[in-house]
Amino acid sequence: MKVCLCNNRFPPHVVGGTEMVVYDLAVQLRDRGHDVSIFTLSDARSAQTAVVDGLRLHSMPNTNIYNQFSHAERSGLKKALFGAVDTFNPLVFLYALRHLRRLDIDALCTNNLKGMGPAIWLAAWCLRIPVVHVLHDYWLVCPTSTMFRDGHACERACNGCRTVSAPKAWFSRLVGHVVGVSNFVLERHRRQNFFAAAQPCVIHNARQPFSAVPAAFTEPRKPFRLGFIGRTDATKGIREFFAGAAAAQTDNLELHIAGRDNEQILDQLIAEYPGLRVVRYGFVPAQDFYPLVDLVVVTSMWNEPFGMVAFEPWEFFKPSIAFTSGGLPEVFTAFPELTVPRGDVQALGKLIRRFIDDPAFYRDIAHRCHDRRSHFLPPRQLQQFEAVLRAAARRGEEAGAGVIEVDRDARS
């Protein structure tokens, strides 16, 4: 099968977890004997080609009014113009039409499309290439991609978001199969009339182990190290993390925080909670951070589409606990006792305290989490994606045969 995977970023350009998920899938499909190419977005106004770990990579020119991956400040007007162009960029359509025609693929698998937009889908439709789209965030229904406003997760799209997303919903009818990384994110889109003609399914994210050398269980330290990794902002619940740690009401606790403090909030929180000992790392690779802590807390206040940070620590026998935000409960289906209602810092503190005070409980959960880690390994995900891509390719062949038959009848 000849497949093209499309995502707006691809290693070595990494801004989040999606790039690595797409990379892992591409490598596995290639190793299974499929012909795999990558279609992504350049940081420049010119196209670029490269080979990344044996994968053919083509980056199309960045033709919107700015490159969204740079960290420059932008006015509200510029952001609005960017979103309007992104809804349907004719330059993207023409470029994708030419590039996809050259590829002659059996199926196109699109992922995060900010900066490229639904024009990719129309180009594929014109060429009768079946499309599988994977939902990793909320960009299609919300310009910010987070559905988070004024410190709260949006339970439904506001009128403004509904208006600007309506054209994208229309273009989504060109997609044959839609994959949600969680039931939650899939239903959020279908509730807004996205992918009305698509076959839906859920394939949870997976991640390769960080190390080829198996980790060993270690007893928690004294003081107990409570870990937070990610952006220290309102969406990730850094304030709730501090409040939950304070609610544990114990001196045997030390907070270890890894992540960029772009909003400069950590100094303020440390001042508000002088009784908490805090160790700050800044940005640290996840595989280096997890062995340093005893328990990872995922206090997301936005609706995490899935949240790989919740299962990644399990590789190192490090348990995790989380708020029931978005798709996070789907990570913890095997042990729902490790989740608490979103924002309930008292329940969070009580659960943290149990891990500290009950070594047998900690030991049992650590081993169960480690065993469960195998559920989120790429081979399982590969089988599911391969089945979806094959189904899409078959539908494409049937549709193509139907078009040829209609043309023959018309000529007679």
- Quick check: 191 pLDDT over 70? yes
pLDDT of residue 338: 98
Taking residue 353's Cβ as centre, other Cβ atoms within 10 Å add up to 17
- Quick check: 409 pLDDT over 60? no
- Quick check: 126 pLDDT over 80? yes
* Rounded distance between C-alpha atoms, residue 352 and residue 250, angstroms: 10
pLDDT of residue 388: 97
pLDDT of residue 401: 47
Do 318 and 367 meet the contact criterion of CB atoms below 8 Å apart? no
Q: Which of 77-86, 111-120, 289-298 has the lowest mean pLDDT?
A: 77-86
pTM, two decimal places: 0.91
Domain ranges within the chain, ordered by starting residue: 2-208+378-411, 224-375
Taking residue 229's Cβ as centre, other Cβ atoms within 10 Å add up to 24
Identical fold, 2-208+378-411 and 224-375:
yes
Rg (CA), the chain: 23
Q: Name residue, tokens 């839609």.
A: 178
Query: Encoding tokens for residue 29?
Result: 């499909």
Do 298 and 330 meet the contact criterion of CB atoms below 8 Å apart? no
Q: Mean pLDDT over residues 21-26, rounded? A: 94
pLDDT band at 212, cuts 50/70/90?
A: confident
Taking residue 318's Cβ as centre, other Cβ atoms within 10 Å add up to 25
pLDDT of residue 52: 92
Do 171 and 156 meet the contact criterion of CB atoms below 8 Å apart? no
The fold adopted by the segment(s) 2-208+378-411 is Rossmann fold (3.40.50)
Do 283 and 260 meet the contact criterion of CB atoms below 8 Å apart? yes
* Assigned architecture for domain 224-375: 3-Layer(aba) Sandwich (3.40)
